Amino acid sequence: MGIMDKLKGMVRGHEDQARQASDAAERTINEKTGNKYTGQVDQAQQKIEGTLGMPDRPEQPPS
């Protein structure tokens, strides 16, 4: 069992909490980089969430 399988198991049933943690990480990274890499950070976040099997969400306007 690989690390991604373990993470998927941890996320299952806790998608809302995982999404909140993912959003918090995205905000922190964007703050630390002065919003210089928001596009790349957003793409990475979407890729990770997809890999973990988290359902897609509609596009949200930047906050």
pLDDT tens column, 16-32: 899 999 999 999 999 99
Residue 7 has pLDDT above 60, yes or no: yes
The amino acid occupying position 41 is V
Sign of CA dihedral 28, 24, 51, 1: positive
**Number of helices (H), then strands (E), in the chain:** 3, 0
At residue 27, the pLDDT reads 96
pLDDT (tens digit per residue) in 25-61: 999 999 999 999 999 999 999 999 998 888 776 666 5
pTM of the model: 0.74
Q: Which two tokens stand for residue 60?
A: 């949200």
C-alpha R_g of the chain? 12
What's the confidence (pLDDT) of residue 22? Answer: 92
62 CB-side CA count, 13 A: 8
